Amino acid sequence: MQFDQEFDARGLSCPLPIVKTKKALNAMTSGQVLKVTTTDPGSVKDMEAFANQTGNPLVESGTAGGEYVFYLRKG
């Protein structure tokens, strides 16, 4: 998937991945896509809830090698 910016949240525990994702999205323009990579298993449900609550759609997500990857589109 194509993305405009990337945020590496590996090694961060809840709530830091969400807090820093929000900050990164705030600096982006509407329609741009942010790729977020985390190692926190709790981030799966957190990112879904964050996307629903903020209107920044979770376009795609997946796991690879113990890491969780999320693509959010700035609403």
Q: Distance between CA atoms of 27 and 55, rounded to whole angstroms?
A: 15
Catalytic residue among 12, 14, 44, 59: 14
Is-contact 72 36, C-beta < 8 A? yes
Is residue 14 annotated as part of the catalytic site, yes or no? yes
Q: Annotated catalytic sites, by residue?
A: 14
